[in-house]
Amino acid sequence: MSFGEIETHIPTLGAAKIGSPIQGWRQGGESANFVSDNDRVLVDVTPAGLEKLCQENKPFPSFEMAGPRERIYFDPSKLRCALVTCGGLCPGLNDIIRSVVLELYYGYGVRRIYGIKYGLQGFIPSYGHDVIDLDPPAVVNIQDMGGSILGSSRGPQSIEEIVDTLDRMNIGILFMVGGDGTLKAANLIAKAISAHNLRISVIGIPKTIDNDIHMVSRSFGFDTAVDIATQAIKGAHNEAESYPNGIGLIKLMGRHSGFIAATATLAQQDVNFVLIPEIPVDLEGPNGLLTKVETRLQERGHAVIVVAEGALQELFDSEDRRTDASGNVRLHDVGLFVRDRIKAYFKAKDIEINLKYIDPSYMIRSVPANANDSVFCGFLGRDAVHAGMAGKTEMLVAHWNNHFVHVPMALSAGQRKQVNPDGKLWSTVLGATGQGSMRNQDA
């Protein structure tokens, strides 16, 4: 996609006519550090991208900068807000909840904040899930807990029933925390709200531990995931070094994108082979993984392999594919598959190996956020509140070019960010591991 062709306009519910009650932004007691819609962040800041736009005589697309507006749309004394977390667990969910609640309560004086239990199911009356009141005492110290105090769920729910519930509850702002499926649902909810002529703002907070949401340079939980994945790599390396022909095999998250596997490899440079969904790999043959592992054992006596969960899926029967409640294809367990193929290969050659397999996935997903992610979540939550109070809708708060910005939901939903096989991240991984190509056609 050419950056010159993207639409970055953010819809609003109407004119913002109410003076903001935000305190603490004063500088010298004279002026407030508010952000204007005219404060912009360029989408593409690369020299090549800027030169191309100049040559094509196209405008430089830019995002609205996130932050508090001088005037807001909603009257805080009459406003009701709802907050929901959807999809898989991720470090930082409770930090997001806490920052949204505290900014609404202390920054704007909003007193009616509702937590929707168990994802989108919480909007559907037939499930019978409770709605909980959120205030500062309800969120104290939750940043020290893993998971989400609101719970979560997967799977589509009736958009009409969700909108009906929002209308009955007289909700003014809905904050939805989730990944690609949640953002697509949020976009549909916002469109249905508009079709019903309701004045409800829908603000998305992008959540994916895999860091694969389109037009979002960093997602919360990713830093924590890399931290813990690094510990798994250390353990695997220690195990591999401690035995003759030792092999440490670690499976990490990454359904469609290998950012965690690649970044953790660079954080702990004890890895010799990395398999990610974006890079095709042969197992057999003179240049395949198994041959290269054998050569590594002959030369160094041990090997460490990291495999992202979405790697090598093309080797499985495409007809044997089921989907989960959210419509995602259920991946085959590539970690166990690679483990068994390695064992079979060396057994056939009568070579004794000592293989240790580590899968830390669910432990990583459910732990509290680390310090960096916690700070990041604080910015995301507060900026989501600022956007909602200003009457913005059909948007998500994202980090882009070192700034927090407003991104249209339609721009991110349904697309995915992946590791660039020709980019700096992957070329650095190749340099750190020395694995080279594992395709026989490149031998």
Residues classed as catalytic: 210
The C-alpha torsion from 106 through 107 and 112 to 113, rounded to 10°, is -90
Phi-psi map region of 92: left, alpha, beta (phi>0 left; psi -120 to 50 alpha): left
Residues near 227 by beta carbon (within 8 Å), at least 6 away in sequence:
370
**Any idea what DSSP says for residue 141?**
T
The DSSP line for 63-98 is EEEPS--SEESS-GGG-EEEEEE-SS--TTHHHHHH
Specify the 3-state DSSP secondary structure of 354.
Answer: strand
Q: Where are the alpha helices (DSSP H) in 149-219?
A: 159-168, 180-195
Residue 414 CB neighbour total at 10 angstroms:
13
What's the rounded Cα separation, in Å, for the pair 433 and 417? 23
Q: Where are the alpha helices (DSSP H) in 133-258?
A: 136-139, 159-168, 180-195, 222-241
Specify the 3-state DSSP secondary structure of 26.
Answer: strand
What's the rounded Cα separation, in Å, for the pair 362 and 368? 12
Residue 184 CB neighbour total at 10 angstroms:
19
Q: Is the dihedral of CA 10, 14, 20, 26 positive or negative?
A: positive
Distances (CA, A) of 217 to 43, 310, 318, 419: 11, 21, 32, 12
What's the rounded Cα separation, in Å, for the pair 107 and 93? 20
CA-derived radius of gyration, the chain: 24
